[in-house]
Chains A and B, each alone.
Chain A
Amino acid sequence: MDFLRPASWEEALAAKAEHPTAVPIAGGTDVMVEINFDHRRPEYLLDLTRIGDLYEWETGGDSVRLGASVPYTRIMENLRGELPGLALASHTVASPQIRNRGGVGGNLGTASPAGDAHPALLAAGAEVEAESVRGTRLIPIDTFYTGVKRNALAPDELIRAVHIKKADGPQQYSKVGTRNAMVIAVCAFGLALHPQTRTVRTGIGSAAPTPVRAKAAEEFLNAALDEGGFWDNGKIITPSVAKQFADLCAAACNPIDDVRGTASYRRHAVGVMARRTLTWTWESYRGTAAHSEGVA
Chain B
Amino acid sequence: MPGKSAPLGTPTKVTQGAKTKGGIGESTLRPDGTLKVTGEFAYSSDMWHEDMLWGQILRSTTAHAEIVSIDTAEALALPGVYAVMTYDDLPTDVKNYGLEIQDTPVLAHGRVRHHGEPVAIVAADHPETARRAAAKIRVEYRDLPVITDEASATAPDAILIHDNRTDHHIGHVDHPNIVHRQPIVRGDVEAARARADFIVTGEYTFGMQDQAFLGPESGLAVPAEDGGVDLYIATQWLHSDLRQIAPVLGLPEDKVRMTLSGVGGAFGGREDLSMQIHACLLALRTGKPVKIVYNRFESFFGHVHRHPAKLTYEHGATKDGKLTHLKARIVLDGGAYASASPAVVGNAASLGAGPYVVDDVDIDCIALYTNNPPCGAMRGFGAVQACFAYEAQMDKLADAVGMDRVEFRRLNAMEQGTLLPTGQAVDSPAPVAELLRRVKAMPLPPEQQWLTAGEAADVRQLPGGLSNTTHGEGVVRGIGYAVGIKNVGFSEGFDDYSTARVRMEVVGGEPVATVHTAMAEVGQGGVTVHAQIARTELGVAQVTIHPADTQVGSAGSTSASRQTYVTGGAVKNSCELVREKVLEVGRRKFGSYHPAWATAELLLEGGKVVTDAGEVLADLVDVLGDESVEVEAEWRHRPTEPFDLRTGQGFGHVQYSFAAHRAVVEVDTELGLVKVIELACAQDVGKALNPLSVVGQIQGGTTQGLGIAVMEEIIVDPKTAKVRNPSFTDYLIPTILDTPTIPVDVLELADAHAPYGLRGIGEAPTLSSTPAVLAAIRNATGLELTKTPVRPEHLTGTA
Contact = CB atoms under 8 A, between A and B. Distances in A.
B466 A181 contact: yes
Contacts of B470: 276
A38 B493 CA distance: 48
A287 interface: no
A176 B465 CA distance: 10
B631 to A, nearest CB: 50
A117 to B, nearest CB: 14
Given A179-B711, A180-B738, A92 B793 contact: no
A173 B467 CA distance: 8
Interface stretch (B250-258, B332-340, B398-406, B666-674): B666-674
Contacts of A172: 468
B677 to A, nearest CB: 12
A279 B471 CA distance: 11
A291 interface: yes
B737 A262 contact: no
A154 interface: no
Contacts of B465: 179-181, 296
A259 B460 contact: no
Interface residues of B, number: 48
Interface string A87-121: 01001100000000000000000000000000000
B37 to A, nearest CB: 15
A43 to B, nearest CB: 16
B17 interface: no
Interface in A164-202: 172-184, 186
A174 B467 contact: yes
B715 A273 contact: no
Interface string A72-97: 00000000000000001001100000
Contacts of A290: 455-456
Contacts of A261: 791-793
A79 to B, nearest CB: 17
Contacts of A268: 796, 798
Nearest to A277: B468
Interface stretch (B431-439, B520-528, B622-630, B727-735): B727-735
Determine chain B's interface SS by DSSP, over half rule.
Answer: loop
Nearest to B473: A276
Sort chain A's interface into a size bin: 35 or more
Nearest to A294: B459
Nearest to A173: B468
B461 to A, nearest CB: 9
B725 interface: yes
A180 B798 contact: no
B494 interface: no
Contacts of B673: 176, 178, 180
Given A259-B724, A265-B793, A295-B456, A179 B735 contact: yes
Contacts of B149: none
B466 A180 contact: yes
B426 interface: no
Given A292-B456, A294-B471, 19 more contacts: A175-B468, A178-B710, A178-B711, A179-B465, A179-B732, A179-B734, A180-B464, A180-B466, A183-B732, A265-B672, A269-B796, A272-B474, A290-B455, A291-B471, A294-B458, A295-B452, A295-B454, A296-B460, A296-B466
Interface of B: 131, 295, 297, 452, 454-460, 463-474, 670-673, 675, 710-711, 715, 724-725, 727, 729-730, 732, 734-738, 791-793, 796, 798-799
